[in-house]
């Protein structure tokens, strides 16, 4: 099976802009979770989608949002970007609630 | 709230030695404990996991132990090799009723010197 894929792999934006990241899960996986990885805060859970519904949510401001499509592909959006949003954004897919497989990540730099 | 503490933050060993990384979780409802290895510039990869109905699990040179009473779990790597050098993350979650949110420890940077 093909692994989890994420696009784009790298992104440079300026403060105030918005950004959309995409994640394609492993075929058959209906759960997609998003994590933010930074040197200072480590790996932090953003949210999880299952069958097009947000099932779990982390402690991030409302500027961070997401959605899932009927084919299980997921997107996350960050509006009004801040310098502190610079991070590696990882998505992970799983079959129901089980081991999570990570994608390669999208490296977002906010200038 | 939910929290996972991981120690040490850095670990340096000689090739062939053993390495132990320890984690403590706060949510007593947690029942699934995976360990991920992340090499520089790469994605986290699951290396071993354990569920709360098991006290120990082993896979070749890697083992994980769980003490539910103390809310501790540990990763043991024996006969370390240079390719074991990476950052290791422990995580905890409660898998039930659609809950699927991994809480990660801060990570341990393991360096194995030849």
Q: In this complex, do A104 and B99 lie within 8 Å of one another by their Cβ atoms? A: no
For residue A95, what pLDDT is reported? Answer: 86
Q: Any chain B CB within 8 A of the CB of A50?
A: yes
For residue B1, what pLDDT is reported? Answer: 64
Q: How far is B97 from chain A (nearest CA, A)?
A: 9
Nearest 5°: the CA angle B9, B76, A32 is: 70
pLDDT digits (tens, 9 = 90+) for B29-82: 999 999 999 999 999 999 999 998 889 999 999 999 999 999 999 999 999 999
pLDDT digits (tens, 9 = 90+) for A5-64: 999 999 999 999 999 999 999 999 999 999 999 988 889 999 999 999 998 899 999 999
CB-closest option in A43, A98, A105 to B89: A43
Tell me the C-alpha distance between A94 and B76, whole Å.
26
Is residue B96's pLDDT more than 80? no
User: Cβ(A81)–Cβ(A89) under 8 Å?
Assistant: no
For residue A96, what pLDDT is reported? Answer: 73
Q: Any chain B CB within 8 A of the CB of A95?
A: no
Tell me the C-alpha distance between B55 and B66, whole Å.
5
Q: How far is CA B29 from CA A62, A96, B26, B34, in A?
A: 28, 19, 9, 15
Q: Smallest Cα–Cα separation from B60: which of B47, B46, B45? A: B47
User: Cβ(A96)–Cβ(A53) under 8 Å?
Assistant: no
Q: Any chain B CB within 8 A of the CB of A83?
A: no
For residue A105, what pLDDT is reported? Answer: 97
For residue A97, what pLDDT is reported? Answer: 66
Q: In this complex, do A48 and B105 lie within 8 Å of one another by their Cβ atoms? A: no
For residue B99, what pLDDT is reported? Answer: 67
For residue A43, what pLDDT is reported? Answer: 94
A40-44, B18-22, B96-100: least confidently modelled range: B96-100
């Amino acid at each position: 099976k093909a692994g989890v894929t994420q696009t784009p792999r790298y992104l440079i934006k300026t403060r105030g802009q918005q950004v959309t990241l995409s994640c394609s899960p492993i075929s058959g996986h209906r759960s997609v979770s998003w994590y933010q990885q930074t040197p200072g805060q480590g790996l932090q859970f953003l949210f999880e989608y299952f069958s097009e519904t947000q099932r779990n949510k982390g402690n991030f401001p409302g500027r961070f949002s997401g959605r899932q499509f009927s084919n299980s592909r997921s997107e996350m959006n960050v509006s009004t970007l801040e310098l502190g949003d610079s991070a590696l954004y990882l998505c992970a897919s799983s079959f129901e609630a089980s081991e999570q497989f990570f994608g390669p990540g999208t490296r977002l730099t906010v200038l | 709230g939910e929290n996972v503490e991981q120690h040490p933050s850095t670990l340096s060993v000689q090739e062939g030695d053993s390495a132990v990384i320890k984690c403590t979780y706060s949510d007593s409802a947690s029942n699934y404990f995976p360990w991920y290895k992340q090499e520089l510039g790469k994605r986290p990869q699951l290396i071993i996991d354990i569920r709360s109905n098991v006290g120990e699990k082993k896979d070749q040179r890697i083992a994980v132990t769980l003490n539910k009473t103390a809310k501790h779990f540990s990763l043991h790597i024996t006969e370390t090799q240079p390719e074991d050098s990476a950052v290791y993350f422990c995580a905890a979650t409660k898998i039930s009723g659609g809950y699927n949110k991994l809480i990660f420890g801060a990570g341990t940077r393991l360096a194995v010197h030849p």
